[in-house]
Structure 1
Amino acid sequence: MRVILERSNLLKSLNHVHRVVERRNTIPILSNVLLGADGESLSLKATDLDLEVTEATPARVEQAGATTVPAHLLYDIVRKLSDGSEVMLKLDESGNAMSVVSGRSSFRLQCLPQSDFPELTAGSFTHRFQMPAEALKRLIDKTQFAISTEETRYYLNGIYLHAIEADGRLRLRSVATDGHRLARAETEAPSGCEGMPGIIIPRKTVSELQKLVDQPDLQVSVELSDTKIRFTIGSIVLTSKLIDGTFPDYQRVIPTGNDKKLLIDRQSFAQAVDRVSTVSSERGRAVKLSIGDGMVTLAVNNPDSGSATEEVAADYAADPIEIGFNAKYLLDVAAQLSGGEAQFMLADAGSPTLIQDGSDADTLYVLMPMRV
């Protein structure tokens, strides 16, 4: 194998694939990236056995071939090469080492044979559809912060993506919850979603996908089955196993009878929460909201360090209510709202609160209160 390509092209592709590779691996081949030179391109592939990313980049192939080299090491080398340079990758005749040459720099990396590299068998996909990258990114961005990190309830460690009939139209909906908060976003379902199974996309896959759908004008091709999902974004193909579990009936926790309506300026509220929570304990992070006529008083009391209060003007005409929330959760939700105004629908101090975006009817958030 002997191939020459632009450093910028190689770095961009390595950046997409090397993140999948775990830093610590008990199986040596999983630390490597598979390089294949053929035709007019170099293909790169990395996997952790649950997630696989491949990408092809333009290259001048002088001799076709394939090998595997340490992914993070190759990425670090290419990252440190000078801008605008060309990189030559050349496999030794023995096949045990690959030279990386650029200008006056030369590196020699140990290889493992291509035949050892595992293949993530995709099987057959039952559903296929295409959607704008912008729409997919929105479904992810608006919900991923609420994914649970608690491994015991593994079925909450991802985003639940499913098609649902709402108001006579088919909608594609994403939901994430960790039991303390819930985020839901939806968009018009693309053609091909009909009858698709409800699937749980793992947290790591969500994180990688988020970085890949950064160009809003791209179309993303989505293929899925009960156990796998594949995204094709330009020259990048991401294949992932799905979480094998049943997502809970989230509809049950979305309150419908909350009748106390609070309208408040999103930015002023978020800044006030951020300020008063400075004195809160790391463990508790509780902020108490005393909501009355035209005013919300935020208060934090930490026996170890002190207390803080701040008042924020609001539109509220129902009975006064005192309710506590985790400050971080409030800030996470506020960061997702795009409108100038946040709408809280409250019931009482012990019931879930519904938060909606004044300028986005396709998203909603549910927060469980805290005792304060």
Structure 2
Amino acid sequence: LAATNLDIGIQYWLGAKVEKPGQLVVPAKEVSEFVSYLGAEKLTLAAEGKLKLKITSRSGETVFNGMDPAEFPQIPAVNQEKTVSLSTAELSQAVNQVGFAAASDDSRPVLTAIYWQFTSTGYQMVATDGYRLSQKTVAVKGVKLTDKEEAVFLVPARSLIELVRLAAEEKEFRFGLTDDQNQVVFLLPSLQLNSRLIEGEFPDYQKIIPQQAKVKVMVDREAFYRAVKISSVFARESANIVKLKLEKEKIIISANAPSVGENKTEVEAKIEGQDLTIAFNYRFLLDFLNVIPEKEG
């Protein structure tokens, strides 16, 4: 089975008794919905002419109108000798901790991508939507996709998030580039996922990240998360803004909405540096807190 929207494509192999090989192109949405309503039973698939698919089950027969297979886009292939292997668990954690910061608006395609950089010591992922930025570094040795010491790819965040979902039960996966280096191909035992790479210049994120911190805060993740959630009840009616006031040994999280009321919650914390008051979009805080382990803070 193969499907593509030209940005991302998937091929899936499943067991079947094939009496006569052939190809058909059928409407994915309607066939998917139809099959989901059937029980756990064997199906017989047969081509009726060149443009129709007949599905026979215990309860009846169904025919779907199709298209000429020659019109279906060609799924790119990759030379498996030029692929490398990565841990699914490590990639899954990296994508989850970075992907949330990628833009969902396609007006600036480069911001919908995850910046994926490979070096001799591993890889790092970076994503930003222009308002927030998340970076994750993973130590891996012996990963080399090109002749260069360093390689950078802009992979759509949606593609990597979909890969993580599909590869959840696999320990490892392989991936490589197509010969024209315009697409990346991920290989699993019974599945291949390919994604186009995004062209453009990713923001110079290293200039955005401060080299030194004037204030450092250590706080219990769960307590801080709960306080932000409480304040969000009021922040939703006030442009999603919550205020954080850093004082000696505590953080005061507050939100004020004229039509609802106001709230202040104190959380114990270890603070190094001067007192500070700063405001954030509470959704940005929750997105980050949702993807870090509970013991971190």
- TM-score, structure 2 normalization: 0.91
Identify the range of structure 1 (236-245 vs 151-160) with the bigger mean alpha-carbon deviation.
151-160
Equivalent position SS for 2:100: helix
Structure 1 residue 189: deviation in Å? 2.8
- Is the aligned partner of 1:182 residue 2:133? yes
Hey, what does 1:252 align to over in structure 2? 207
1:94-109 equivalences under 5 Å are 94-109=49-64
Hey, what does 2:268 align to over in structure 1? 313
Hey, what does 1:221 align to over in structure 2? 174
**Alignment CA distance shift 1:327-1:126 (3 Å):** farther
Task: Tell me if the contact between 1:263 and 1:341 (Cα under 8 Å) persists in the aligned partners.
Answer: no
The CA distance in 2 between the partners of 1:235 and 1:50, in whole Å, is 21
Hey, what does 1:68 align to over in structure 2? 25
- What number of residue pairs does the alignment pair up? 292
The CA distance in 2 between the partners of 1:323 and 1:46, in whole Å, is 47
Equivalent position SS for 1:223: strand
Structure 1 residue 283: deviation in Å? 6.5
Hey, what does 1:88 align to over in structure 2? 44
Structure 1 residue 152: deviation in Å? 3.1
Counterpart AA for 1:177: T
Structure 1 residue 265: deviation in Å? 0.5
Hey, what does 2:149 align to over in structure 1? 195
Hey, what does 1:205 align to over in structure 2? 159
- TM-score, structure 1 normalization: 0.74
Larger strand share, 1 or 2: 1
Structure 1 residue 122: deviation in Å? 5.3
Provide the aligned C-alpha RMSD in A: 2.1
- Aligned residue among 195, 198, 204 for 1:240: 195
The CA distance in 1 between the partners of 2:18 and 2:89, in whole Å, is 35
What is the percent sequence identity of the aligned residues?
A: 26
**Alignment CA distance shift 1:273-1:50 (3 Å):** same
Counterpart AA for 1:182: L
Instruction: Name which structure has the greater RCO, CA cutoff 8 Å, separation 6+.
Output: 2
- Long gaps (5+) in structure 2: none
Task: Tell me if the contact between 2:94 and 2:125 (Cα under 8 Å) persists in the aligned partners.
Answer: yes
Deviations 1:207-257 (A, max 9, x none): 32121121142x211102642101001111111110011111111111121
The CA distance in 1 between the partners of 2:286 and 2:30, in whole Å, is 38
Structure 1 residue 308: deviation in Å? 1.2
- Is the aligned partner of 1:56 residue 2:56? no
Structure 1 residue 65: deviation in Å? 1.2
Task: Tell me if the contact between 1:49 and 1:120 (Cα under 8 Å) persists in the aligned partners.
Answer: no
Task: Tell me if the contact between 1:45 and 1:52 (Cα under 8 Å) persists in the aligned partners.
Answer: yes
